[in-house]
Amino acid sequence: MSEAYRTVAERAQADFEVKGSEFIGHVAPADSVDAAEAFVAEVREAYADATHNVPAYRVPAGEEMLREWSSDDGEPTGSAGKPALNVLVQRDLHNVVAVVTRYYGGVNLGVGGLARAYARGVSDAVAAAGEVEERPHERFTATVDYDDSGTVRGILESVGVEFDAAYEARVTFEVRVPVADADGVRDRLRSATGGRVDLS
């Protein structure tokens, strides 16, 4: 995925009550299935005493693939996970994971009531987090001798990419760059150093 996409700006949560049941919506950015699953596990552990922790996510799963997944976590089929996921789909959010926690309050809400509550849990949490437009990034390292380090630093600063530099026997730059720009940046580094830069 090399095009810009919308996601949540940060982790956030929002809580509300429906007929005695407490709902807590949690969202977070996630750039892989592993990251999404880790967030789900974290929420489930933190709210292990809850009646349900309903997860949903839309994250990259390989080149140009988007994994969409949800679970009802014991709620009636179709009443929880699907409505939660639908919020992410309708808002066209990518690289995002949500979990809606429910503490049962003694009153059955019915399938329609549950669906509305789980959708609201995600929607309110997304609103609390805020939405941002992101571009997919990749990372690479550029290692050079000290003589070329100023040149490399100058190029990285001029193109406005994120990087960290480690000065040891040689200088290693850890670079984070938008996927669409990565080849161009690498070409500039090779050209400016006469091919002396080691890229990996």
The CATH class of 137-199 is alpha beta
> Mean pLDDT throughout 36-47?
98
pLDDT tens, 14-35?
A: 999 999 999 999 999 998 899 9
Q: Rounded distance, CA 51 to CA 55, Å?
A: 13
The CATH class of 5-134 is alpha beta
pTM of the model: 0.74
pLDDT at 198 over 70: yes
Beta strands 96-103; 21-29: pairing state: antiparallel
pLDDT at 122 over 80: yes
pLDDT at 62 over 80: no
Q: Rounded distance, CA 3 to CA 18, Å?
A: 39
pLDDT tens, 109-121?
A: 999 999 999 999 9
* Domain ranges within the chain, ordered by starting residue: 5-134, 137-199
> Mean pLDDT throughout 66-76?
95
